[in-house]
Every structure is written in C-alpha cells, then in structure tokens.
Amino acid sequence: NAGVTQTPKFQVLKTGQSMTLQCAQDMNHEYMSWYRQDPGMGLRLIHYSVGAGITDQGEVPNGYNVSRSTTEDFPLRLLSAAPSQTSVYFCASTRPGQGDTGELFFGEGSRLTVL
C-alpha cells in the first residue's frame, strides 16, 4: 500500500519558472491538502480539497494553484516561482471520520528551492 506519493522529492527552480508538484493517494480518501513547512514555523495550509472537483484556499494560497479532477490526484502548481516559495511541501490526505476528526496521512515531502 503506497499511501500518499509525492513527486519530485527535490527541485531547484529559477525565479519566474513554473512547475507542478504531484500528489497521489491510493486510500480512496475524499479529503486532500497541501502544507508548507518553513523553519521556525508550523505547517501552514496552502490549499485543500474535500472531493473531486472541489478545492478551496487555506492560510497561504497566494502564488499557488490546485485542481482535483480525480479522487486520487491533487497537484500543486507554482505559477511563477519566487524565492519566498523556497520550502518543504507536504501533501496529505484524510480518512473520513466522525465530524471533522480525520487524522492526516502525509507524503514524504518535496523540497523546493527557488533561486
């Protein structure tokens, strides 16, 4: 069982370039989300999705775009990379529980450096 798979694990971009971080899960989870981890800060929510065709913004959505065409996939697009987007990105999916109690299952992370 692969769980949540993120690619690439490492990426270096130049300012202004665009790229897509891929995320796929094989657990049939309805809920998926993207977080970024920066030194000295907690994980911050970028975008999330409650099901195929439905996405919404999190705490830090600027400069990122998402889509959810299938239950399995939730790609994160950087439209025009900036040095402030240098970070470690985590994709996560959530098992439905009672109310909003589902624990997150995380991918292994993607380390992005923008020069």
Partner 1 sequence: ILNVEQSPQSLHVQEGDSTNFTCSFPSSNFYALHWYRWETAKSPEALFVMTLNGDEKKKGRISATLNTKEGYSYLYIKGSQPEDSATYLCARGGSNYKLTFGKGTLLTVNP
DSSP 73: B
Size of the site for partner 1 (CB under 8 A): 30
Task: Using the rule CB under 8 A, give the single segment among 18-26, 61-69, 77-85, 105-113 that binds partner 1.
Answer: 105-113
Identify which of residues 1 and 98 has a Cβ nearer to partner 1 in the complex. 98
Question: Which CB atom, from 64 or from 81, has the smaller least distance to partner 1?
Answer: 64
Token pair listed for 43: 């994980």
Question: Does 74 sit near partner 1 (CB under 8 A)?
Answer: no
Site string for partner 1, 22-61 (x = CB under 8 A): ---------x-x-x----xxxxxx--x-x-----x-xx--
